[in-house]
Amino acid sequence: MNAPEIPRQEAERLIALRGLQLLDSNADKGFDRLTELATKIFDLPMAMITLIDEDRQWFKSHQGLKVCETPRRISFCGHVVADGQPMVINNALRDPRFSDNPLVTGSPFIRFYAGFPLFVAPGVCVGTLCLIGTLPRAFEDAEMDRLRLLAAQAEELIELHVLRAQARQRETLVGSTH
């Protein structure tokens, strides 16, 4: 199993990630609708919006998966964050980087994976929108384009979350000065 590499701009990436104030936050209907839509569009059992911190992959939203996080060292999404590029694994059992990964050899028995990076600034990737299947499958260019569009929507939801948090902070400051 190949653990994901650490991006060159890791310190900047982690500062940006923390600034989002999304890690360990409550469920959000907008993010959950997006991952639910992804499972339906691609006819796959699992879809997640992930955020990668120093040690873990945390799921802001997850469909079809019971856990809320996994270790970064075994995450597929960590590879996407490290490269800043989309990644498709058609059959994880046949991919030497992942064939002995505990997420492949055990639950949730990943066979198919497609992940698209989520950026909060140019070159600053904080996570992914990813799709997971328990059967190998092909992934066509048109499907990658659909995943790209959904990932762009996830980035907009992240931006909206930040703007709302900033507005709440301003309201708190204004309220405390009166």
Domain ranges of the chain: 10-176
Contact 22, 154 (CB under 8 A): no
The rounded distance, in Å, linking the Cα atoms of 82 and 80 is 5
Task: Specify the amino acid at residue 175.
Answer: G
Give me 114's structure tokens.
Answer: 């497609």
Q: For 98-140, where are the alpha helices, taking DSSP H only?
A: 102-105
User: Looking at residues 42-64, what average pLDDT do you find?
Assistant: 97
The rounded distance, in Å, linking the Cα atoms of 53 and 57 is 7
Task: Domain 10-176: give its CATH architecture.
Answer: 2-Layer Sandwich (3.30)
The rounded distance, in Å, linking the Cα atoms of 14 and 51 is 10
At residue 178, the pLDDT reads 59
Q: How many residues does the chain have?
A: 178
Contact 80, 128 (CB under 8 A): yes
Please state which of the ranges 89-103, 109-123, 156-170 shows the lowest mean pLDDT: 156-170
pTM (2 decimals)?
0.93
The rounded distance, in Å, linking the Cα atoms of 58 and 34 is 17
CA–centroid distance for 30 within its chain: 15
The per-residue pLDDT for range 62-110, each reduced to its tens digit, is 999 999 999 999 999 999 999 999 999 999 999 999 999 999 999 999 9
**Residue 174: is its pLDDT beyond 80?**
no
The angle formed by the CA atoms of residues 46, 121 and 130, to the nearest 5 degrees, is 10
